[in-house]
Chains A and B, each alone.
Chain A
Amino acid sequence: MEAMISVENLIVDFENITACKNVSFQVFPGEIFGLIGPNGAGKTTTLKVLATLLKPTYGIINIGGFDLEKQTIQIRKIIGFMPDFSPVYEEMKVWEFLELYASAYGIEKNKRNKTIDSGLHRVNLVEKKDAFIGELSRGMKQRLVLAKTLLPEPQILFLDEPASGLDPLARKELSEILKNLGNEGKTIIISSHILTELADFCTAAGIMEKGRMIKWGKLENLSDIPADTVCVEFCTSGKSTNLTNILNNYPSLLKFEKETDQLWRIYIKGNDSVIADFVKFLVENNVPIIEIRKVKEDIQTIFFKTGAKDVS
């Protein structure tokens, strides 16, 4: 599949720091790509470069088939960008702000009102239509900027920490909005350092640290557990001495790890249906199990794993 966004060897210098060091990754059409990393990892910088707002020192970047360096105007037509803090005109009213961009994006005069209303509806801000922006709360401003970003219905979205400053309810609404956008086939890059927030709806992710892209890819490929393997963790009540021998007798075993005396992790070849089989095996061998669960590597585990690797 053709990549929607491809970044190759992106280098961004600031006065005395290199914020992106040879960052390379690809995002495919319809993906929701989570850009994860601690503060100062270079997420905002990367997104700004992609949004044509920051000139990189170097980088071969292609967005929607256009070359970033030469076809800036074409790229600007297909992207939407939402920065991490929401720039708005405080002295304007909510609808005036949206009208400014509705007409800037060339939405016809007679359709503008409808577009603005549906935009406000989308982010749940209808009742604030006539309020001055200066009087809105931070989360509301953020939602207003999101509405503004979605006005021209861009094919590609760059969202820089969209959920910071939102209350839990708004967060949930946001993730609904994003999921819907994903279903509509839009390609989205969303940056965050709040991992749980991304886990729900990302289909791919990239982990950045200190200006480097440490790891990226589809969520399932990022994990250390191969596709045809099931990882199970179980606890026993008390120490069982010959458990190692018992486990070694299990036919489709790949490997096991003893985390503590009671906690074991085991990798089995096959799909989810082998778990029942495995439980039966344990019970038959009189292993005193008190808890068992399937291990699913989510973004969080992956992130901490990679982070740990980098530090060591």
Chain B
Amino acid sequence: MLVENPLYTAVKRIQTRPLRILSLTIVEVISILIVYFIIWIISSSSELSDSEQFFKHIGRNFAIAMLVGQYIVLVIYGTFSIETRFVRDRISEIINFHRLTPVSPQNLISGYVFGQSSDAIILWCILFVSGIIGVLSGGISFSQYLSSSILVCMCAAFFYLFATWSGLAKPLTLKFGARQTWGFATLLSYIIIGWCGDLSYLSPFPAMWTIIGDGDYFFAPLPTTFVYFFGFSMPTIFYSMLLWITFGFIAFFSSKRKIFSEDSPALSKKEILWLYGALAFIITGRFHGVYTNKLQSIPSLYRVPSIETFLTIGNSFLIFTAFIILLFSIPKRINLRRFFIKLQMKKTIAWNQDDAPSLTLTKFLAMICVAFQIIMDFLITLRISYVQKITIPYADIFLQIVFFSISIFFTIFLIEGFRMRFAKNSDSIPALIIFTWFFVIPFVTLLYVCQKNMKAPYLAVLSPTNFLMPVFLKKFSEETPSFSIIAGFTLLVIATYLSFLFWKNSRKIFEQKLFEIKG
């Protein structure tokens, strides 16, 4: 129970001291006045003949201003305040005290979230009640008002979970001055998100507009009725909820682990998989939706010149997303060191009698390469027999991302792995593996692809250089722009040169690091 939650009681006590509430109220009243003024200017063009119409209009404006006020207080202010509290408690290390108490992680989270937002909640109640005055004038029905308010609350719940996660996961190395900048950037992003493509569904406004109706108000340019999802037209509210619930759950479970121990990774492997799956599902659904509807009757925001452009943009976006997500999954050097010291210390898990760490490492890398190859082969086989029957492009994009992700992961792993010391007689082995993997295969493939007029670029997909050549996407079309081939070769040359440098310097650079404890 929340009342029995010690953290909630304590934080709420800080947040609801009268002076604090008072100053917050004043700021809030001023910002609502500004909002009302803006709404009044935007909507005053319509002709208002009789006084009943006039009051309806005023009432409607007032109710909407109150909804926007609810959003400002509950979502923006509340989120910002929760995140700041987490960051501050981490910097002062008081959060370690909470970790040492027997209070469960979920109670800690709820204590923080509800305690820290208690002032926002009090203000929200006041605003909610005041908004009803506008409803009474008849400009907006009570059910419309109520459901819009509920949407604001739902959105706040999502953002609170998200703020919890980001507050717990933000790097603290920048400490003081940078804290404000972080906070400001976060705040801005919460506001801006309401106007950014699909991300706008993370704000309650598109769904709110579905409910309130005709859109000649503040947030008019947003799509108003439904979104396309796997070819269906899905009510905007459901789509918003889908996003909130999916990401909210992931944020919650990540926070739970993060609040138990500061050192735990921001996202576990499982969570990355979930997040990635969810993203892939949602984005693919949107692609499919848009594609099958031939881009007609799509609100102006999504009207694009041609499918090619759309897919290319989409593909870059997906790849970018994948990259960001994968950044989380990179094995940090310290984790690798942890792993290898364990191998070294506990002789029983060493893979070989001959447990020179470098040799073990080389074998380890080789095994990963083999495993990787097998998985790739499997995927390709799968693709030939099943996936190819599905001729719509999104399957292709999806596969590309899978390949891309694995290769990025692998690249980074190799780079990190390469930073370890290799024994004198074995340092050519990993270099050989890297070279073969990244440069020989793509090279041969490129030649093959050029010959075959790009009808079977499967192997090229395996190469990490591939993602820089969105042209592979167009393999369903016959032509191959020479540009992409030139780009590919250039990349190959650069990469080869870089890897050569890397190889040359690797021993010098990484000699000291990973296995030394005695130094």
Contacts and interface: CB of A to CB of B under 8 A. Distances in A.
B94 A18 contact: no
Contacts of A271: none
B97 interface: yes
B7 A72 contact: no
B261 A87 contact: no
Size category of the B interface is 20 to 34
Contacts of A80: 100
B56 interface: no
B10 A13 contact: no
Nearest to A85: B93
A224 B203 CA distance: 72
Contacts of A148: 97
A146 interface: no
> Nearest 10 A-B pairs (CB), nearest first?
A103-B6, A55-B263, A87-B94, A104-B101, A100-B10, A104-B6, A87-B92, A58-B341, A87-B93, A91-B14
Given A53-B96, A92-B13, A11 B262 contact: no
A76 B337 CA distance: 27
Interface in B1-50: 4, 6-7, 9-10, 13-14, 17
A18 B517 contact: yes
Interface of A: 9, 11, 13, 15, 18, 21-22, 51-55, 57-58, 72, 76-77, 79-81, 83, 87-89, 91-92, 96-97, 99-101, 103-106, 148
B102 interface: yes
A89 B14 contact: yes
A87 B342 contact: no
28 contacts: A11-B341, A13-B334, A18-B519, A53-B96, A53-B99, A53-B100, A54-B262, A55-B263, A55-B264, A57-B334, A58-B342, A58-B345, A76-B101, A79-B100, A80-B100, A81-B100, A87-B92, A87-B94, A89-B14, A92-B10, A92-B13, A96-B13, A97-B10, A99-B6, A100-B7, A100-B9, A104-B7, A105-B101
B88 to A, nearest CB: 10
Contacts of B334: 13, 15, 57
Contacts of B424: none
A51 B99 CA distance: 10
B338 interface: yes
Contacts, number: 89
A51 B100 contact: yes
B93 A54 contact: no
B98 to A, nearest CB: 7
Contacts of B9: 100, 103
Contacts of B100: 51-53, 76, 79-81
Contact of B518 (A21, A100, A103): A21
A157 to B, nearest CB: 12
A81 to B, nearest CB: 6
Given A58-B345, A92-B13, A96-B10, A104 B103 contact: yes
Contacts of A105: 101-102
A52 B96 CA distance: 9
B94 A89 contact: yes
Contacts of B94: 87-89
Given A21-B517, A72-B261, A92-B10, A57 B98 contact: no
B338 A101 contact: no
A87 B341 contact: no
Given A57-B341, A87-B97, 6 more contacts: A18-B519, A21-B518, A52-B261, A57-B334, A88-B94, A105-B102
Contacts of B260: 72
Nearest to A83: B93
A89 B9 CA distance: 14
Contacts of A53: 96, 99-100, 261-262
B110 to A, nearest CB: 14
Contacts of A81: 96, 100
Contacts of A11: 341, 517
A59 to B, nearest CB: 9
Contacts of A21: 517-519
Contact of B102 (A18, A52, A55, A104): A104
A106 B93 contact: no
A88 B102 CA distance: 19
Given A21-B517, A58-B338, A92-B14, A106 B97 contact: no
Nearest to A8: B345
Contacts of B342: 58
A52 B100 CA distance: 8
Nearest to B261: A55
Contacts of A57: 334, 337-338, 341
Nearest to B94: A87
Contacts of A51: 96, 100
B347 to A, nearest CB: 13
Nearest to A18: B517
Nearest to B6: A103
A15 to B, nearest CB: 8
Interface in B325-340: 334, 337-338
Given A87-B92, A87-B97, A77 B102 contact: yes
Contacts of A13: 334, 337
Nearest to B516: A18
Given A21-B517, A92-B10, A9 B345 contact: yes
A204 B14 CA distance: 43
A99 B10 CA distance: 8
Contacts of B338: 57-58
Interface in B242-270: 260-264
B97 A101 contact: yes
Contacts of B13: 92, 96
A96 B264 CA distance: 30
Contacts of B262: 53-54
Nearest to A100: B10
